[in-house]
Amino acid sequence: MPESAHLPNYIGGRWVPSAAAEHLDVYNPATGQVIARTPLSTGTEVDCAVQAAAAAFPAWRETPPVIRARAMFAFKQQLEAHVEELARLVTTEHGKTLDESRGSVRRAIECVEVACGAPSMLTGYGLENIAANIDCTVMRQPIGVCAAIAPFNFPAMVPLWFLPFAVVCGNTFVLKPSEQVPLSQHRIFELLETCGLPPGVVNLVNGGKDVAEALCDHPGIRAVSFVGSTAVARLVYRRGTHAGKRVQALGGAKNFIIVMPDADLDRAMPLIAESFYGCAGERCLAGSVLLPVGAAHAEARDRLAAAAESLTVGNGLEPGVQMGPVVSARHRARVLGYVERGVAEGARLVADGRARKLPAEGFFVGPTVFDQVSPAMSIGREEIFGPVASVCPVADLDEAFRIMDAHPNANATSIFTSSGKAAREFAHRATASMVGVNIGVAAPMAYFPFGGARDSFFGDLKVHGRDAFEFYTDKKVAISRWL
């Protein structure tokens, strides 16, 4: 790799080469080729970024919210003008299809749009005469330097769950992209450079675990947002809160999809197949376990297997491709390991992705369906994060709830039914905090809260929507008497 393929950091309004001793290869997962190298930046570089953000904070804090919002309007325009370029970059470094990448960039833009509403969202409240001639005013103020640590599966979108909200609230910001997919954020920061933000308001430090830990520990950082696996989310939550920070940490998932006997399978099954196989199963909202109730079992299973076998798998940049590769050779080995374990544990393979003819290069996994999976099996219990579906037939909705309630993750869940009663009961009782009714992927839009429950989420305030304005501000009360 030429030196030019080594990605720089963005600190204090400048692109700065990293002093990292080590770099990680970034792959195009559809070809297996190395396309860039991520520096594993040092603690000193994290400290420089935090200092730049801290130096920019006093003036940015004083900048009127309406002017901060104008920078976000400019950012939105830049993103709109580069949707196609960004989508191609997402597909090139992550592997998902171009249509999926376009959708993810649109979702990122929606976050910026919601952040543009900051002048309304940041208003406080008050009451005159709380006692004779004494008034009370509540105002929202930014908290300081905020950081975010991102996962690999949505290179453009997930960091923008945080950056626009943090910045528009008057905070300054340090981002650590996933070391596996740093290119989309590199380009997004180039676009941000043109949006009128003063130097130091946004900073980017590439790296892995060490950079994430340094962000959790740094005394100059007031809040940390994290998205990734449950094990790391728990660590980051503990580490960041131990250091006195506000932390929201979104973890992994094992999402259950219930199909009632009264479901309209013609409508439901394409949505369900998309939930399991969209983005090659690398979505935190992806269906993972299908729980068909009673008589729904045989037909739902057979249709899912037929859908899996009919998917066109290939390079996501090519037209007609419906499913791309998984992100890395290591992740492919992990997913295929689950397929081996499923067979060894006695689940019944009804669509064997290993038998599919797949492109010779790249990190492809054939879409797979297991039937007769039990919650005790590793494929029924652990997050696979690949195109492997587990079908676990249940007698009734109560049995479905028993299985879901016993699982430590509770990110998203969906029911397919034509019964309003079953749908209402489902939405009411589900522990997961993103619930779909006849929806395959229950992804809240940017103006609603996003985040799971139990081991899928550590913290109080969720991501984007009104919660973001809560997370990125503090409330202050002024009590005044003018004699």
Q: How far apart are CA 269 and CA 237, in angstroms?
A: 37
Nearer to ligand NAD, 78 or 104 (CB): 104
Nearer to ligand NAD, 229 or 438 (CB): 229
CB of 285 to ligand NAD, least distance (A): 7
CB of 301 to ligand NAD, least distance (A): 25
Query: Other CB atoms closer than 10 Å to residue 408's CB: what's the count?
Result: 12
Helix (H) / strand (E) element for 16: namely: strand 14-16
Nearer to ligand NAD, 282 or 371 (CB): 282
The residue written with tokens 């699982």 in the block is 407
Torsion of CA 382, 383, 388, 393, to 10 degrees: 50
Nearer to ligand NAD, 260 or 463 (CB): 463
Residue 394 DSSP label: B
CB of 150 to ligand NAD, least distance (A): 5
Residues in Cβ contact with 42 at an 8 Å cutoff, skipping those fewer than 6 apart: 18, 19, 20, 210
Least Cα distance to 94 among 31, 7, 47 occurs for: 31
Nearer to ligand NAD, 140 or 283 (CB): 283
Query: Other CB atoms closer than 10 Å to residue 30's CB: what's the count?
Result: 24
Q: Which residues bind ligand NAD (CB under 6 A)?
A: 149-153, 158, 176, 178-179, 208-209, 212-213, 227-229, 232, 235-236, 250-253, 284, 383, 385, 411, 452, 456
Q: How far apart are CA 434 and CA 1, in angstroms?
A: 43
Q: How far apart are CA 95 and CA 72, in angstroms?
A: 29
User: What's the burial of 198, exposed, middle or buried (CB within 10 Å: 0-12/13-18/19+)?
Assistant: middle
Nearer to ligand NAD, 52 or 235 (CB): 235
The residue at minimum Cβ distance from ligand NAD is: 228
CB of 151 to ligand NAD, least distance (A): 3
Nearer to ligand NAD, 197 or 468 (CB): 468
Tokens of 343: 């067979």
User: What's the burial of 428, exposed, middle or buried (CB within 10 Å: 0-12/13-18/19+)?
Assistant: exposed
CB of 227 to ligand NAD, least distance (A): 5
Q: Which of 146, 216, 284, 392 is catalytic?
A: 284
Nearer to ligand NAD, 38 or 417 (CB): 38
Least Cα distance to 108 among 150, 142, 146 occurs for: 150
Query: Other CB atoms closer than 10 Å to residue 217's CB: what's the count?
Result: 15
CB of 483 to ligand NAD, least distance (A): 53
Helix (H) / strand (E) element for 289: namely: strand 287-292
SS3 331: helix
CB of 3 to ligand NAD, least distance (A): 23
Looking at the DSSP bridge assignments, the partners of residue 369 are 351, 389
Tokens of 258: 């219930």
CB of 176 to ligand NAD, least distance (A): 6
Active site residue 48: no
Separation in Å, CA 438 to CA 84, 87, 265, 442: 30, 28, 10, 9
Q: Are 347 and 391 in contact (CB under 8 A)?
A: no
Positions marked active-site: 284
